[in-house]
Amino acid sequence: MPTIKGKEISQQAITEALRCDTVDALLEVAEKYDIDLTREEAEVFLEEMDDIDLDHKVLAMVAGGKKW
């Protein structure tokens, strides 16, 4: 399971985070799953995700929806 700052992050949290399109939405997901995430870190995450062009099929596989 992936970790952030030593805390394990569930697949559900990752899936919800990948669906966020605003910093505030991402911070809400982080709070929901008790993930320590600053506004600056959320901004960086969203900027980096904008650079990645994944189609829905690939995104589902990455998020654990299907096996490769």
The identity of residue 36, as a single letter, is: D
Domain map (residue ranges) of the chain: 3-62
For residues 14 and 65, the model is more confident at 14
The two three-digit tokens of residue 21, written as one number: 């399109």
For residue 61, what pLDDT is reported? 73
Given a cut of 70, is residue 67 above it in pLDDT? Answer: no
Give pLDDT tens digits for 28-61. 999 999 999 999 999 999 988 877 766 666 767 7
Check if the beta carbon of residue 63 is closer than 8 Å to that of residue 16. Answer: no
Cβ contacts of residue 3 below 8 Å, gap of 6+? 9
For residue 6, what pLDDT is reported? 85
